[in-house]
Structure 1
């Protein structure tokens, strides 16, 4: 194949990578600002030029052929190299510049990241920040995310990362509620109380707790008239005396310090998918742009665990 023909196929190869990453022509078209029919034609042109079928198309999904899988790996490598070339201009000097896209869980974003954004932008005037708050993990490649914060035991395969802080929860209630209803002495007492719980998935009202010293674990099903998937709203419900709530400790810290709420069963740890270590993650890349390094260092400075934080 002549060089000019190869050069003409490079855009089609990039589109092919995007289709595989997102799993459909329509999703790729939306992200590329194109149409599904145009994306389909480009893939067809690439297949015709290469003389192989890359994708098996069904009404429900796309599947890579054996030749398509091999082609995708090489096209993806090509696109990664191209992205590295683009970042070289940002690395010409030491000054961080450009846009950083950061994905974080909603509670961490609202309570910990958003309040620190003004200081970061003042400190780095040539860096823009796109903060995406979602509890649905975004793909750092397919979603074109530069950095992500996730609750995990360790970085997933293929990603580099640094631990930011431990995320724990506290069961708490207002003094007025406890005066009226009594204070639970064991997790088995919780079903007799009004509890404020997360209501996103079936089973969210099943609480699992572990005793800090004995490591005894206890699972209980709680009930209550109020449930919400917003941590600040749960805290406000607790303060209002609506029941016992389980709140991220960083969200409840001020209310605890001011005596608006009181810790319940403090010797027990609440175990949940939102329990563990918040890791700051990124794609391993020896050409990590200064803009990303600046945000990584800033978040480590501001959010790393200290004894009084958790």
Structure 2
């Protein structure tokens, strides 16, 4: 059996979470999907999936095989891609998802300018801060801010997101001002519940450190934590692009100026490199250009 097809079947099973969904998506019989998976396991000499009545999960061998399968498909797709996508017409609908804060501060403006260049394109911009299944939810492009990107994802680096530790003057007047990262442990810090653990990382002259923080308010969106910070609820770690206007007005105060919070990468996530639609490729190319040249955004890079 064809190893490329077997790899594609295996990756689709993992992405969609079931063999039935993979069969429907690939327009194969369920028996054929089962045969391709069995062949993958025979080639690797190991079980790749734990199968229960409710869900599938990867074994350790499956994790390694998934990464290699994605790389193999990427190489195969690059070889197959003989058509010049630049000659295709840039038109149609793009579904894009990103966090509320990035959407409001950057992406709304960037997308508006892109649509002026390409009036035959329309964009459905969905704001949320959860990890979405691009295939199931029919998302063409997801923008994520992270330093822990899943190596199995197909991603293009777009820019960097600087961060700042800040608080309202009222909070500092009532609770004092931290002078060292370690002081944060005794303050009410507003945290992101999707981080899994609340460790804030800092760099001072090449010396890196991390401090565990906690507080009585957590959320999965920085906009919520920013609103709480403005109300004097505590100290938060914010994207600099969100906090900068409030810092300039004096409504927030930057803390620990000698310690640089860890910056994060901004990535465009998509499903496949094979015969990428010209519209999606144009949007990715444009976002790389926009993040690199937009003066307002460049001002957030510090």
Give the counterpart of 1:27 among 12, 18, 26. 18
In 2, Cα distance between equivalents of 1:120 and 1:142: 26
Q: Which residue of 2 aligns with 1:254?
A: 245
1:303 corresponds in structure 2 to 291
- Structure with max Cα Rg: 1
Q: 1:221 aligns with which of 193, 207, 212?
A: 212
Structure 1 residues 197 and 154: alpha-carbon distance in aligned structure 2, compared to 1, 3 A threshold: closer
Picking from 140, 147, 162, the partner of 1:168 is 162
| 237 and 119 in structure 1: CA distance in 2 versus 1, 3 angstrom threshold | same
The question of 1:242 aligning with 2:233 is answered yes
Q: TM-score, normalised by structure 1?
A: 0.66
Relative distance call for 1:231 and 1:154 in structure 2 (3 A) is: closer
Of residues 288-297 and 245-254 in structure 1, the stretch that sits farther from structure 2 once superposed is: 288-297
The aligned residue for residue 131 of structure 2 is 136
Q: What is the rounded CA distance, in whole Å, between the counterparts of 2:143 and 2:159 in structure 1?
A: 11
Is the 1:184–1:264 Cα contact (8 Å) retained in structure 2? yes
Aligned pair count reads: 278
Q: Residues 170 and 263 of structure 1 are in contact (CA less than 8 Å); yes or no, is this contact kept in structure 2?
A: yes
1:176 Cα deviation from its structure 2 partner: 1.5
Superposition deviation, residue 285 in structure 1:
5.9
Q: Is the 8 A contact 1:100 1:129 kept in 2?
A: yes
TM-score, normalization: structure 2?
Answer: 0.67
- TM superposition shift of 1:170: 0.5
Q: Determine the structure 1 residue equivalent to 2:201.
A: 208
CA separation in 2, counterparts of 1:203 and 1:188?
16
Residue equivalent to 1:3:
none
Point out where structure 2 has 5 or more consecutive residues left out of the alignment.
42-46
- Could you tell me how far 1:263 is from its partner in structure 2? 0.4
Deviations 1:73-114 (A, max 9, x none): 9x96999499958x77x7555x41234454545643454224
Range moving further from structure 2, 281-290 or 228-237: 281-290
Which residue of the partner structure matches residue 181 of structure 1? 175
Q: Which residue of 2 aligns with 1:59?
A: 51
CA RMSD across the alignment: 4.8
Q: How does 1:270-309 map to 2 (within 5 A)?
A: 270-271=261-262, 275-280=263-268, 289-304=277-292, 306=295, 307-309=298-300
By how many angstroms is 1:123 displaced? 3.0
Q: Which residue of 1 aligns with 2:184?
A: 190
Structure 1 residues 223 and 170: CA distance shift in structure 2, 3 A: same
Task: Decide whether aligned partners of structure 1 residues 80 and 146 sit closer, same or farther in structure 2, where only a CA change above 3 A counts.
Answer: farther
Checking the alignment, whether the CA contact within 8 Å between 2:6 and 2:40 is kept in structure 1 is no
Q: Which runs of 5+ in 1 are unaligned?
A: 1-8
**1:178-232 alpha-carbon deviations (Å, 9 max, x no partner):** 122222111222222222112224422x323222x3x333333323222222101
**Contact 1:106–1:135 (CA<8 Å) still a contact in 2?**
no
Structure 2 CA distance, aligned partners of 1:239 and 1:189?
20
Report deviation, 1:124: 1.6
